[in-house]
């Protein structure tokens, strides 16, 4: 156990300092896919979460329960569902999205949308109701009120975005089913790790895991810096 961990750390350092071209390529691709997915999902979920929070409607509780249930959906099931949609025989087969990075982005958006919407709602509920009432009393319309509350809840929403990014970059179900783990085209961190493990290169797999975490750390530091600057 200890030997393998030490070996993995050595390999991780070796891969980084030698600028291993395959590692750089995989890193850029993983970040492109998961950051795009996080961005798109955030752009959808913050307004949608805001509207669900703001408006009272029949079945609101059920809808929130449903969204929260979807937090637990296995990544492979999201991958399979999308696969059936965009496979050549599926209704959206003509889009040619299967086995492409763009298809993977769509899959990861679907995967993290429930978390982002759900946590946005929770974040907004966390803001004192007085602010909502005050905004309405001052004559704000729905749009202005939601903007005000979202601004108040920005730290909690940022936490949701970071969580969504974490789920996107660490998932393997969508990446393998929609991406297909094609070398030089759709191979990302998680699919490389699973391939190297099945090849028996355990140290290399752990090394890749360590590098993935290091990159996640850098992304989180950047996001926190941006947040703190305001």
Contact residues for other proteins (CB under 8 A)? Answer: 87-90, 93-96, 98-99, 143, 176, 180-183, 185, 195, 197-202
CB of 22 to other proteins, least distance (A): 11
**For residue 194, how many C-alpha atoms fall within 13 Å in the half-sphere facing its CB?**
13
User: CA-to-CA distance for 46 and 113, rounded, in angstroms?
Assistant: 10
CB of 83 closer than 8 Å to CB of 178: yes
CB of 221 to other proteins, least distance (A): 34
User: CA-to-CA distance for 155 and 146, rounded, in angstroms?
Assistant: 15
Q: Which is nearer to other proteins, 202 or 218 (CB)?
A: 202
CB of 127 to other proteins, least distance (A): 24
Q: Which is nearer to other proteins, 7 or 166 (CB)?
A: 7
User: CA-to-CA distance for 210 and 167, rounded, in angstroms?
Assistant: 16
Q: Which is nearer to other proteins, 18 or 89 (CB)?
A: 89
User: CA-to-CA distance for 49 and 38, rounded, in angstroms?
Assistant: 15
Catalogue the E-assigned strands of 115-167.
none
Q: Which is nearer to other proteins, 46 or 115 (CB)?
A: 46
Q: Which is nearer to other proteins, 123 or 205 (CB)?
A: 205
CB of 122 to other proteins, least distance (A): 26
Residues 6+ apart with CB under 8 A from 226: none
CB of 186 to other proteins, least distance (A): 8
């Amino acid at each position: 156990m200890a030997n393998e961990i030490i070996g993995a750390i050595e390999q991780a350092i070796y891969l980084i300092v030698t600028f291993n071209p395959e590692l750089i390529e995989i890193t850029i691709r993983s970040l492109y896919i998961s950051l795009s997915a996080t961005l798109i999902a955030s752009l959808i979920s913050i307004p949608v979460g805001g509207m669900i929070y703001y408006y009272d409607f029949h079945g609101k509780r059920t809808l929130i329960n449903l969204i929260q249930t979807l937090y637990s959906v296995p990544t492979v099931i999201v991958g399979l569902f999308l696969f059936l949609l965009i496979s050549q025989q599926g209704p959206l087969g003509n889009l040619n999205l299967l086995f492409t990075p763009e298809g993977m982005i769509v899959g990861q958006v679907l995967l993290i949308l429930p978390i982002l919407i759900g946590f946005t709602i929770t974040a907004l509920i966390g803001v004192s109701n007085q602010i909502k009432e005050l905004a309405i009393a001052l004559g704000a319309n729905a749009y202005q009120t939601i903007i005000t509350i979202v601004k108040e809840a920005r730290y909690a929403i940022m936490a949701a975005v970071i969580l969504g990014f974490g789920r996107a970059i660490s998932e393997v179900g969508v990446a393998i089913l929609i991406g297909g783990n094609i070398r030089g085209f759709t191979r990302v961190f998680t699919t490389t790790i699973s391939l190297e493990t099945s090849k028996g290169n355990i140290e290399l797999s752990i090394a890749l895991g360590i590098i993935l975490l290091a990159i996640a750390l850098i992304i989180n530091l950047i996001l926190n810096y941006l947040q703190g600057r305001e």
